[in-house]
Structure 1
Amino acid sequence: MITHYGPEVQAWLDAAPGLLEQAAERWELSLSGYHDAGHASVIALATSSDGRPLLLKAWADPVRYRHEISALQLWAGGPTADMVEVANDLGVAALELVGGCPGGADRPAREMQMVAVALHGLHTLGRRRNRPTGFPLLADHLRTEMLPRIEQRIRTVRLGVWRPLFDAANPSLADLKEDAGRTTVLHADLYRENVPFDWMGLPRLLDPLPMVGDAVFDWAFWTVYYDLGHGTDRRLATAARISRIPVPVLAPWCRALAVDGLLFYIESRDPRAQRMSEVLSSLSPSIPRRDS
């Protein structure tokens, strides 16, 4: 979290155990220890007075807290974790512990298809229900964050043997046109660890970074990042079938996200760079395709 927010977050980290303890006392929960600490929150395991297993989550960033809570409230009753309690003054929420344990229950054989159906359901709720105001916009994310950092890294990162990949994929950046008819509330952080399964074998989508924009972004993110380097082509086909967004529309968004990720991995010397380069190659028609 210090790497993500800077040294100024240390004061909040020092206070976080006390915030969780206050929330547990207020809601009559028994804390049983920390689960993990990500780059934006601290999570503890807890049990309610009637024995229900829960997660207590404390956010370092009040804005991120408000957005995530608002998204979970919007999606209530859908394929997300139930929100049991909220303490706005503490920036802490009690959430259902999906599957009764960290990581959820066992994943079914039809995991990919079931997650795709759940994501489609999430997008449907985001379109049909009245959205709270204040969510970030995908258009702003593209214009002020993602595209500028791609351009900056293209100029400054040593691309080496990967240069042809970027030359082939770069035209996709000009093809990122949103369709207003697909506008919804996006999850925007669809890594596999954010999609545990419950006791009934159903996926629950957790830890969103909600934005409002074209659903194509979520489908592209899921295609590229859900299980990096494994099943990319099958996810792309599944995304097109379930979302009814044609592959030629999805593909430029997939390539743009893969370009962004590969540049970051190269710059940070992350070993996932090779895997991402293979994903990008499989998504780039002018590069010989390899199974990903």
Structure 2
Amino acid sequence: MSTQMLGEVPPGCRRRLLDHYGPSAEPWLRNAPHLLAEAAERWKLSLQSYHDAGHASAIALATAFDGTPLILKAWYEPLRYRHEIAALRVWAGGPTANVIETADDLSVAALELVGGQPGGAARLARERQMVAAAIQGLHSLGQRRPTPDLPTLTHFRQEVVTPRIRQRAQGLDLGPMGTLVEDACQGLSGLWEDPARTTVLHADLYRENVIFDRGGHPRLIDPHPMVGDAAFDWAFWAVYYDLERGLADRLATASRISRIPIPEITPWCRALAVDGFLYYTEINDPAKPKIAKVLSSLMASSAGGER
């Protein structure tokens, strides 16, 4: 079978990976079309076109010999490839994209094309409740199946998040938000994990990473997986799924579905919100006013005793 190689990766893909990884990603970006072509040849797939999405990979649409449409994904980081595939295998058959083929030597995988098109099918009603049920489903699978070799939330909290929050809080001009950020930083020492809730976390529950299949069921894609307390995922979803609306409703739904009390989720919400606010401040992101409002709301609930 002869496979036609796609051209250069799309400009959006190139920009996002260079922004994320820096100039060291340039040689890989030049090689990415060859990686995708080699994987397609190996698995007897026909490459169709690029899908310009994601911040850590190059993505193409492909068709199997029997006509089945697939996603072909090439990761810049081999470690991130291994982590994502390990998590997807734990969640196999659950509300995510199933793994069809893998090439460890290329850091490329063929994945199910959810909803028959890039971005999935149309979203239906009761989105909040259905997504919460999908998150709970992933967590249940992560607890029932053998734990894969993934980073831990404990390491991420102690060695990555807390140090960068403190460094940015000290180095940035925060203006009137300075006192609020200082108060949020004081709460970082109170973060704790319940070992009984340990599972495989998705840890990247932005709305763009939740797509729907043709039956209207949500699938959680593009994880940045870790092993740790399920409260982290619920907090991430509550804060970042929609920065403009629905935080209180998502928190209430998260607590109801997971049976984790809201006061045990909100400290993670505050940590994630202050981390995001400082990052958006550093890069002057247009979303800064939105995350500032979220952080202010969360800190106000803390001051009010989280009733």
Relative to the length of structure 1, the TM-score reads 0.95
- Residue 66 of structure 1, aligned match among 82, 96, 107: 82
Q: What are the equivalent positions in structure 2 for 1:148-159 lying under 5 Å apart?
A: 148-159=163-174
Residue 229 in structure 1 maps to residue 244 in structure 2: yes
SS in 1 for 2:211: coil
Instruction: Indicate the residue corresponding to 1:121 in structure 2.
Output: 137
Provide the residue aligned with 2:211 in structure 1.
Answer: 196
Instruction: Summarize the Cα distance change of 1:287–1:15 in structure 2 as closer, same or farther, 3 Å threshold.
Output: same
Matched, 1:28 2:44: yes
Q: List alignment gaps of at least 5 residues for structure 1.
A: none
How many Å separate the matches in 2 of 1:118 and 1:104? 15
Which secondary structure does the structure 1 equivalent of 2:52 belong to? strand
1:52-91 to structure 2, matched below 5 A, reads 52-91=68-107
Which of the residues 138, 151, 167 maps onto 2:153? Answer: 138
Paired residues of 2:115 and 2:213 also in contact (CA < 8 A): yes
Moved more, 228-237 or 178-187: 228-237
3-state DSSP of counterpart to 1:196 = strand
Task: Give the conservation status (yes or no) of the 8 Å contact 1:281–1:287.
Answer: no
Give the Cα separation in 2 of the matches to 1:234 and 1:117. Answer: 14
Cα distance in structure 1, aligned partners of 2:187 and 2:66: 53
**In the TM superposition, what are the counterparts of 1:1-292 in structure 2 within 5 Å?**
1-132=17-148, 134-285=149-300
Secondary structure of the 1:76 match is coil
Instruction: Give 1:149's aligned amino acid.
Output: R
Cα drift, residue 38 of structure 1: 2.9
Structure 1 residue 171 displacement after superposition:
3.1
Q: Aligned AA for 1:61?
A: E
Distance 2:240 2:194 in 1: 22
CA distance in 2, matches of 1:230, 1:52: 38
CA distance in structure 2 between the partners assigned to 1:150 and 1:260 by the alignment: 6
Q: Give the aligned residue type for 1:144.
A: E
Q: Runs of 4+ in structure 1 displaced over 4 angstroms?
A: 286-289
Report the aligned-residue RMSD.
Answer: 1.5
> 1:94 aligns to what SS in structure 2?
strand
Paired residue secondary structure (2:24):
helix
SS at match of 2:212: coil
Measured after TM superposition, the shift of residue 24 of structure 1 is: 1.1
Aligned mates of 2:88, 2:293 — CA distance in 1: 34
Give the drift of 1:288: 9.1
Moved more, 224-233 or 250-259: 224-233
Contact 2:165 2:185 in 1 (8 A): no
Amino acid at match of 1:207: D
Q: Does the 8 Å contact 1:282/1:288 carry over to 2?
A: no
* Identity across matched positions, percent: 61
Compute the displacement of 1:94 (Å).
Answer: 0.6
Give the partner amino acid of 2:216.
Answer: G
> How far apart, CA to CA, are the structure 1 residues paired with 2:157 and 2:118?
33
Looking at structure 2, the residues matched to 273 and 162 of structure 1 have their Cα atoms a distance apart, in angstroms, of 11
Deviations 1:50-95 (A, max 9, x none): 2211110001111111111111111101111111111112111111
Deviations 1:102-147 (A, max 9, x none): 1111111111100101101101111110122x21011110111100
Please report how far the alpha carbon of residue 285 of structure 1 lies from its aligned counterpart in structure 2 after TM superposition: 2.7
Query: 1:167, CA displacement in angstroms?
Result: 3.5
Q: Tell me which amino acid in the other structure corresponds to 2:246.
A: G
Taking structure 2 as the reference length, the TM-score comes to: 0.91
- Shift, 1:287, TM fit: 8.1
CA contact (8 A) 1:185 1:213 kept: yes
Report the residue type matching 2:254 in the other structure. A
